[in-house]
Structure 1
Amino acid sequence: MLSSLLPPEVAVAEVFGDPEDAVLLPGEEAVIARAVEKRQREYTTTRHLARTALAQLGLPPVAIGTGGNREPLWPAGIVGSMTHCRGYRAAAVARFGGGGGAGRADAGVEDRAAGVVGLGIDAEPHAPLPEGVLDTIARPDEGPGLAALAAERPQVRWDRLVFCAKESVYKAWFPVAQRWLGFGEASVEFVPDEEIVATPGILAASGTFSARILQSGAPITQMTGRWAIESGLVLTAVTL
Structure 2
Amino acid sequence: MIEELLPLGVEHAEAFGDLAGAWLYAVEESAVAGAGPERRAEFATARHLARRALSRLEVAGAPLPAGPRRAPQWPAGVVGSITHCAGYRVAVVARRTEFAALGVDAEPNEPLPVTVLRRIATERELARVADLLVRRPEVRWDRLLFSVKESLYKACTPLAGQWPGYDRTDIVLDAAGPALTARLLPGPRPGPPPCGTFEGRWLVRRGLLLTAVLRPARPAPG
Fold match, TM over 0.5?
Answer: yes
Partner of 2:66: 66
Partner of 2:135: 152
Partner of 2:170: 187
For the 8 Å contact 1:170–1:181, the answer to whether it is kept is no
Partner of 2:220: none
Tell me the CA shift for residue 181 of structure 1. 3.0
Identify which of 209, 217, 225 aligns with 2:180.
209
Output aligned runs, 1:90-129, within 5 Å: 90-97=90-97, 115-129=98-112
The percentage of counterpart residues that share the same residue type is: 45
Give the secondary structure class of the aligned counterpart of 1:174.
helix
Tell me the CA shift for residue 70 of structure 1. 1.1
- Structure 1 gaps of 5+ residues are 98-114, 194-205
Identify which of 213, 216, 219 aligns with 1:238.
213
TM-score relative to the length of structure 1: 0.84
> What's the C-alpha RMSD, in Å, of the aligned pairs?
1.3
For the 8 Å contact 1:192–1:208, the answer to whether it is kept is no
TM-score relative to the length of structure 2: 0.91
CA distance in 2, matches of 1:18, 1:94: 23
Q: Are residues 1:228 and 2:203 paired?
A: yes
For the 8 Å contact 2:136–2:175, the answer to whether it is kept is no
Tell me the CA shift for residue 130 of structure 1. 2.5
Partner of 2:53: 53
Tell me the CA shift for residue 154 of structure 1. 1.3
Q: 1:215 to 1:209 in 2, by over 3 A?
A: same
Alignment-mate amino acid for residue 123 of structure 2 = P
Partner of 1:100: none
CA distance in 2, matches of 1:183, 1:131: 15
- Structure 2 gaps of 5+ residues are 216-222
Give the secondary structure class of the aligned counterpart of 1:73.
coil
Partner of 2:124: 141
CA distance in 1, matches of 2:14, 2:180: 22
Alignment-mate amino acid for residue 151 of structure 1 = V
Identify which of 187, 190, 194 aligns with 1:219.
194
Tell me the CA shift for residue 118 of structure 1. 0.6
Tell me the CA shift for residue 146 of structure 1. 1.6
Alignment-mate amino acid for residue 212 of structure 1 = R
Q: Which runs of 4+ in 1 moved over 2 A?
A: 215-220
